[in-house]
Amino acid sequence: MSKATVKKLHWRSKVQESFVPLGANGELGLAVGGGADYGEFPFVTAAPGGGATVGDIILEIGGTPILGMTLGDVRGVLNSCPQPIRIKTVSPGSSLCKDLRLYLSKCFTPGSMDSQLQQVIRENLYLRAVPCKSIIKKMPPKHTMLSNGLCYRSTMGVCLTV
């Protein structure tokens, strides 16, 4: 007698694509929360009743991968997309939960979908805190000058150190 093995489906097979139309008052019925500044994947906090449900993780907005972006940047992408907005979402589960740090700490096979997603997240995070050379003597409060001459900018108003 052999045991029947149940193969768990990868989270990528559960991705849903939907369109978010404008409401009667001209505003989006979709609200988002989370973001890299909270250490979370962006997720739906209110939905108009289409394909996205409250709590779903948002993977793309209008074809732009948003994982690793801050909440402000996600809202910026959401507000700049042509109507109706196409979004890709997935329900959180054991392999893909809302915790961004947990997902980034996992080891995946190089070249796998999860490994590629980690790379997209890291690239989006890097765009928000990029080292730059600066010769300005007085830095604005959102910059931190390090002894090696590198200045790390932060879009969140937080000083970043190496």
Give me the average pLDDT of each 10-residue run along the chain (162 residues).
Answer: 63 86 74 90 83 88 90 90 88 85 88 89 78 53 51 47 41
Question: What is the C-alpha to C-alpha distance for residues 106 and 131, in angstroms, rounded to an integer?
Answer: 26
What is the per-residue pLDDT for 58?
A: 93
Residue 105 placed within a domain: yes
Q: Are 74 and 34 members of one domain? A: yes
Q: Are 34 and 88 members of one domain? A: yes
Residue 4 placed within a domain: no
- If one counts the domains in the chain, the total is 2
Spatial contact of 56 and 44, defined as CB atoms under 8 Å apart: yes
What is the per-residue pLDDT for 56?
A: 92
Q: pTM here?
A: 0.72
Q: Are 111 and 142 members of one domain? A: no
Q: Are 38 and 90 members of one domain? A: yes
Tell me which residue of 159, 162, 127 sits closest to 143, measured CA to CA.
Answer: 159
Q: Are 121 and 134 members of one domain? A: no
Domain CATH for 37 = 2.30.42.10
Residue 1 placed within a domain: no
**Distance linking the first and last C-alpha atoms of the chain:** 57
Domain range enclosing 137: 130-162
Tell me which residue of 162, 157, 161, 130 sits closest to 72, measured CA to CA.
Answer: 157
What is the per-residue pLDDT for 11?
A: 82
What is the per-residue pLDDT for 32?
A: 92
